[in-house]
Every structure is written in structure tokens, then in C-alpha cells.
Amino acid sequence: MPPVNFNMVSSGSKGNCSLVWDDETLLVFDFGITMKRFRERMDKLDINHREYSLFVSHEHSDHSRGISMVKKYHKFDLYSREATLDALRYRDGYSIHDSVAIGNFLVKAVSVSHDAADPVGYVIQHGKARISVVSDLGKVSDELLRQAGNSDILAFEANHDVEMLRYGRYPEMLKRRILSSHGHLSNDQSAEAIATMAGPGTRIVLTHLSQENNTPDTAYSSIKNYLLNRNIQYASLECATQELGSSHFIIQRD
């Protein structure tokens, strides 16, 4: 089995996109970025796949706004839940109810709680390697904990610090939406879920950090201290950013 790679191009309310690939297949998760940004990262990572599969988690613009543009320049198969494809008005996409096999990959769509038509997180299996890409959810289900458990890479939302949000300048309606069970995960909620899912080999990437109600230092410290206090073992921890995304990870599992 060839090694599998992961890189998050961008993460946050201004655009999201992640790449998972081996020497045969490229999978793109969400496309809320520009073509220029996408091509620059592809060049930097020396990814030469001419065709790929694009998976969309939900229809909100920070996850989907670039799709119409990329369709003009690239050939790809589009996958999402049927309600999401309908919300995006893409009739040529493929509905994914449970999972789909593409090359050496098995991609599983796991329902999450968010204010969208039928939002999902994705758990990607590549031989014995597992990568989970999950953001935009207000609570964590037992099914998600089970499916994403012991991931080699766990890209998981840590959207806001509750106190920063409550005392920040957002209008009260927006604060209530974010704090609801169909909103976004706080650092504390994220830490609790990660403590259940992480294993000794898990590389944790904190995603979708609010630029208004969180900081990389706050999110990193919150999750690190929570895991340390409970003696939870993991391989690494970092915050993905809007500007730089994440590190480039390579997993080799026999």
C-alpha cells in the first residue's frame, strides 16, 4: 500500500479545503477557496493528478463557493448527500449515503449536527490508515466518536472560546446560533471529543478557528491542557489557519 498524504489548504469562515492523496488518487474535501489558492498549493505539494474526486460536507459558502469556478477548468466527480447537492443545485453530482470506494480509499460520510440541509464529516480509510475531516457541528454524536476514533490524522473543529464569544461583539442571535447544538464546537467541547477519539499515533489538527472568538494559542492551550490533565496520549497537535492551512502529513501504514 502506497503512503497517504494529508494537507489542509485553508480552514476558517473565509474558506475551507483539504487534500488527501496517494500516488494514484486525489481526494478534495470542500472547495471554499479560489482556483489561484488551489493551484498554488497543488504546485507547492507537487501534486500532478489531473482528475480527482471532490467531497462537499455541506452547502455553506465557505465550503462550496469555489466549486462553480473549478468546474470550468478541472474534471472531477462531485460527491455529497443528496440534500446538499440539491441545495447547491448540482444535478451531476453523486449522492453518498454511507460510503464510497475510490482507488485505494474508502470514504465514509458521517452525519453531523449543523444548520445545513444534510451536513456530514468524512472519515477516510486507506489500508490501515484513517483520516478524519470534521468541522461545522454543534454537538458530537456517539457514531462520530466511533467512526473517527484512533484516526492517524484527526482534523477536528475547535471554533470558539465560550467566554470570548459571550462577551464579544457578535449580535445575540448569532451568538445563540453558534452556541446551539446546530452551531459550532467550542474549545472545551472539542477537547472532550478529541480525548475520546485520539490514540497514541493521532496527529491532531484543530480546524475552523473563529478569527473573532478564538486564537490559535487559546485553542491549542485549551486542548493540550485538557489532554495532558487526563493523560491522553497523541502524536502531535497543531492549529490549521485560514492563511496557511496545516502541515503536510505523510502516513505509511503496512
What CATH number did the domain enclosing 199 receive? 3.60.15.10
252 assigned to some structural domain: no
Return the bridge partners of 237, or none: 204
Phi/psi for 176 (5° steps) reads -65, -40
What pLDDT score does 49 carry?
Answer: 85
Q: How far apart are CA 51 and CA 10, in angstroms?
A: 21
- pLDDT tens-place string over residues 109-120: 999 999 999 999
When divided into structural domains, the chain yields a total of: 1
Provide the domain limits for residue 148: 4-243
Phi/psi for 61 (5° steps) reads -60, -30
What pLDDT score does 254 carry?
Answer: 64
161 assigned to some structural domain: yes
28 assigned to some structural domain: yes
* 8 Å CB contact between 27 and 124: yes
253 assigned to some structural domain: no
Q: What does the pLDDT profile of the chain (254 residues) look like in tens digits? A: 889 999 999 999 999 999 999 999 999 999 999 999 999 999 999 998 878 999 999 999 999 999 998 888 888 999 999 999 999 999 889 999 999 999 999 999 999 999 999 999 999 999 999 999 999 999 999 999 999 999 999 999 999 999 999 999 999 999 999 999 999 999 999 999 999 999 999 999 999 999 999 999 999 999 999 999 999 999 999 999 999 999 999 998 76
Q: What's this model's pTM, rounded to 2 decimal places? A: 0.97
Grid coordinates standing for 26?
486525489
- pLDDT tens-place string over residues 175-189: 999 999 999 999 999
Grid coordinates standing for 175?
451568538
Residue type, position 246, single letter: S
| CB hemisphere CA count around 227 (13 angstroms) | 25
Q: Which single residue is written with the C-alpha cell 465560550? A: 162
Phi/psi for 173 (5° steps) reads -60, -40
Full 3-state SS string of 184-214: CCEHHHHHHHHHHHCCCCCEEEEECCCCCCC
* Strand duo 153-157 + 129-134: pairing: parallel
249 assigned to some structural domain: no
* 8 Å CB contact between 41 and 67: no
248 assigned to some structural domain: no
87 assigned to some structural domain: yes
DSSP secondary structure string for all residues of 91-126? TTSEE-SSEEEETTEEEEEEE--SSSSS-EEEEEEE
20 assigned to some structural domain: yes
Terminal Cα-to-Cα distance of the chain (whole angstroms): 7
